Structure 1
Amino acid sequence: MYDHLKSMGIIAIENIDRYSLRSEAEYDILKIYYKKEKGSLFARSEKFKYPRQKKTVLVDSGTHKYKDVTEISPILRHVVDELDRVTKHDKEIIDHKKKILQDLKHLEKVVSNKITEIEEQLKHL
């Protein structure tokens, strides 16, 4: 399922916590952070270096001027897509848990208010 990550030698995909991507000169630096293991002081991470893809693009069609530009490599783009799927899934689970807890707190408040209301009605009888 995560072929590009596996081709990089990453086998514990479920342990990926987050990633960062930055550019330095002619390279893109991808850093993958793993979930902190129990008893460990520091979270583990790995760095990967990808050369930027070079392209020549037409800047002005009237004068036929071209400019050299660089952009993220297609392979790295696929890796980032896979990392987004891995990290977004974790975020969705956390958001879903948060939503359930909020719903539970709201329900608790509604039930508490209803009990108070019924007790007040009983006092008036």
Structure 2
Amino acid sequence: MYEHLKGMGITQYDRIEKYALRTEADYDTLKIYYKKERGALFARSEKFKYPRQKKTVLVDSGTHKYKNVTEISPILRQVVEELDQITSQEKDMKDLKKKILDDLRHLEKVVAHKISEIENDLNRL
């Protein structure tokens, strides 16, 4: 399913909590954080370095000036897309849990109000 992560040796996709990506000189550093294991003092993480892709780009066609630029490697871009899928699924689950709890609290209020209304009607009889 996550071929690029699998190629990096990552198999426990459900344990991935978040990731960070930063650029250092000619490398992009990807750090993947895992959920903290029970009884562990710190959460586990892994760090991967990818060389930046170097390109020469035409800046001014009139003077034929070129500039050397670097950009994220295509492989790392695909890895980040897979990580985005994993981390957004977890966020969606947290949002869904919050929505269900909010709906439950609202339902409790509605039922309590209706019970109070019925009790008032009974007292009037």
TM-score interval w.r.t. the shorter chain? over 0.9
Q: What is the alpha-carbon distance in structure 2 between the residues aligned to residue 124 and residue 61 of structure 1?
A: 90
- Name 1:58's counterpart in structure 2: 58
Question: How many residues are aligned here?
Answer: 125
CA separation in 1, counterparts of 2:62 and 2:55?
A: 20
Match in the other structure for 2:110: 110
Name the % identity: 71
1:10 and 1:103 map into 2 onto residues whose CA distance is: 37
Once the two structures are overlaid, the 10-residue window that deviates more, 7-16 or 71-80, is 7-16
Segments of structure 2 that go 5 or more residues without pairing to the other structure are: none
TM-score relative to the length of structure 2: 0.95
Equivalent position SS for 1:22: strand
Partner of 2:73: 73
Residue 94 of structure 1, CA deviation: 1.1
- 4+ residue runs of structure 1 moved beyond 6 angstroms? none
Are positions 1:40 and 2:40 aligned together?
Answer: yes
Structure 1 residue runs without a partner (length 5+): none
Counterpart residue type for residue 35 of structure 1: K
Aligned to 1:31: 31
